[in-house]
Structure 1
Amino acid sequence: MSTWIDISQRLDEQVATWPGDKPFSYKVSWSKEESGSVNVGHISMSVHTGTHIDAPFHFDNEGKRVIELDLDLYIGCSRVIHLPNRTNIGVTDLANHDLQGVTRLLIRTDAWKDRSVFPETIPPIQPEIATYLSGLGIRLLGLDLPSVDPLDSKELSAHHELAVHGIHILEGLVLDGIDPGNYELAALPLPLVHADGSPVRAALKKIP
């Protein structure tokens, strides 16, 4: 029987965050000794910490917020492909992969070697990939990277082009050792009403 594989980053004080963003913290704010019955903790973090989804509001003031997103985007059949040793990812990198019938595409790049350290560079997505993926019917793009755009980008061209073509973004996956193929994906965001993103617990189960 296939089992679920956790492809999420662990959330503790060692998780890498965007430079200048809120660091992760978990603390017990009400201990069992104080309450007489339970430990109660609280967390402090950016919604873009670790494995997370971007809502369009993240880069567009008129874009949808997390609560407005279609849950079907984040659960169902997906395809994992492996594109190592790239400086960027464009249409030519996908041309040799059969993506017909794929709704959720996950790209393993192996470019983020140490997830306790925020990377200096990544292989970004070329914006024109959005038209290509949309033509195939892909609605969710996931990567083992903290962004689909260059880390120093202010224009966020890939974010915007993907949104224009109705493709949503899942970032910060842990795809080390995940073989290319078809999987069931579960990566549901929290029901955050006003948020521009959400952490997710992402998992895959191999489809025989």
Structure 2
Amino acid sequence: MKKVTALILILVLGMTILSGCGKKADQFSAPKNGETVAEIVIKDYGSIFVKFFKDAAPKAVENFTTHAKDGYYDGLTFHRVMNDFMIQGGDPSGDGTGGESIWGGNFEDEFSDNLQPYRGALCMANAGPNTNGSQFFIVQAKDPYTKEALTNIEQQYGMKFDDKAIAKYAEVGGTPWLFKQHTVFGQVYEGLDVLDKVAATEVDAQNNKPLNDVIIEKINVFEYKK
């Protein structure tokens, strides 16, 4: 009897481990009750709400949420805005040259096969591999991609998209050439209209800096409730 009980426990434990290993991040699902989310409050524009992928990118999520709670991002700007591409912020210097992680300096990339830079993806900005600091960007590109276009990107950048990614890029758009070039650690679940308004702001053509500052008033981190 004891042997049978032990065998059952081993089987259950094994199934639990396998189930955990097979768990995939659902990039577009609604946040769950109690899940940590954030509101990016942008002066004169409104709010963008994001959820996080803590299991896939724990350091990026901890870095962003801790900076937000500490007020690091308060008053900073989206210093680089490119319509039909992305909006970038989180640099205290305001020109894309500054910022650091909560640990000081930079931290490593956290790439996932299950997270893509689709429209609305919250990503770490970097200056090359493993150079993540405080800067982030939100993908705004919304033009759909054909399978042929994605095939060309695969060939050009040496990457491979599965059927799910191909279908999703055709539905929502994004920046597929940035797959596994920047850590995806969150996703907009509300406020895409605000994202588009920011992206449409007039910028300096030379460096894509808004002519009028786009200011992050505050980033509120809280537990989601329906």
More helix by share: 2
**Shorter-normalised TM-score: what interval?**
0.3 to 0.5
TM-score (norm 1): 0.34
Normalization by structure 2: what TM-score? Answer: 0.32
User: Which structure has the bigger radius of gyration?
Assistant: 2
